[in-house]
Amino acid sequence: MEYTVLGRTGLKVSVAGLGCGGFSRLGLGTGKSRAAAVALVRQALDLGVNLLDTAAAYGTEEVVGEAIKTVRREDVVITTKAWIPRGDGRRAAERAVAGLENSLRRLGTDYVDVFQLHGVSPEGYEQARDVIAPALLDQKAKGKLRHLGVTEAASEDPGHEMLQRAVEDEMWDVVMVAFHMMHQNARTTVFPRTMANRIGTLLMFAVRNIFSQPERLAAALRELTARRELPRWLALAPNPLGFLIHDGGAGSIVDAAYRFVRHEPGVDVVLFGTGDPDHLRANIASLLSPPLPMADRSTLTKLFGHLSGVGLDPPWGMPGSP
């Protein structure tokens, strides 16, 4: 495993972080058992992953709590989240503090490394900053959380409006941002400011459905070419991203997707979500592989650099989630 420093938190974190949400939810989302989910987290820990990203909404905090019983608490970085409805007035702060207490109980720990507000929309940002964050900073002073973070509601905020404000406010030490081969706009709108302000970044949506399900990619390309946002050959080609797979290049589209985001300046940790032990091994290998060849990166930027909001799949339950 390779390790890096998560911005100004100073936390030493693995460059590959296990996402315990997404559609897989460690396998719980596809009908696997809780024991298999615990084993998957332990497999990740054995391979050197030390950052585990979960959330109240995922239903995986107890799995994470169970899995980390075999390691020292200080050897693992736990990031979790609470989703707070908009427009809840002062009750929003109470809800967030109660959410933190519940997460601590489910995780079986007395602190979380990063407590994040989950899927904050541009409209919800002022409440997050002015009402909820101060209450959580009181909890930080009590030692219940080490750092405060915020995650975006990617599908409703493809231009990163919320994060563009958050990166200028001093309370957020960590942000979670969507970035992938066909949604590259964080390169100019978010990463220059997180790097300047030494804010830690957790990357989500590297693969999601668009790069793990060929039919989803084909449908997206058909839609984008119909809107004349992409050249027509991309919708007609049997394997439109096949140019990425060659000797010295990527081994698969999923491999390309993880390697593309991993080496982007400004990306600290790439979260990957899976319920499959073989995928877990393969994804860590991808994230530890060299960057894609320069020519392939340039082609991806030339073809897709102007796109925004592609492949940020429909949420279940809340904006921009799971």
Ligand X SMILES: NC(=O)c1ccc[n+]([C@@H]2O[C@H](COP(=O)([O-])OP(=O)(O)OC[C@H]3O[C@@H](n4cnc5c(N)ncnc54)[C@H](OP(=O)(O)O)[C@@H]3O)[C@@H](O)[C@H]2O)c1
Binds ligand X by CB under 6 A, chosen from 15, 224, 254, 307: 254
H/E stretch holding 239: none
Question: Site map for ligand X, 203-222, x if CB under 6 A?
Answer: -xxxxx---x----------
Decide if 58 is catalytic: yes
Binders of ligand X in range 40-79 (CB under 6 A): 53
Q: Minimum CB separation from ligand X for residue 270, in Å?
A: 8
Is residue 4 helix, strand or coil?
Answer: strand
Tokens of 24: 């897989």
β pairing state of 12-14 and 3-5: antiparallel
Q: What is the DSSP string of 124-181?
A: THHHIIIIIHHHHHHHHHTTSEEEEEEEE-GGG-TT-HHHHHHTTSTT-SEEEEE-BT
Sole window of 2-10, 105-113, 219-227, 270-278 interacting with ligand X (rule: CB under 6 A):
270-278
Binds ligand X by CB under 6 A, chosen from 99, 119, 158, 200: 119
Tokens of 96: 């967030």
Residues in contact with ligand X, counted by CB under 6 A, come to a total of 32
Should residue 14 be labelled a site residue for ligand X when binding is judged by CB under 6 A? no
Should residue 146 be labelled a site residue for ligand X when binding is judged by CB under 6 A? no
Q: SS3 helix, strand, coil % of the chain, rounded to 5? A: 45, 15, 40
Is residue 18 helix, strand or coil?
Answer: strand
Binders of ligand X in range 273-292 (CB under 6 A): 273-276, 279, 282-283
Should residue 241 be labelled a site residue for ligand X when binding is judged by CB under 6 A? no
Q: Which residues bind ligand X (CB under 6 A)?
A: 19-24, 53, 81, 118-119, 151, 154, 176, 204-208, 212, 254, 271-276, 279, 282-283, 320-322
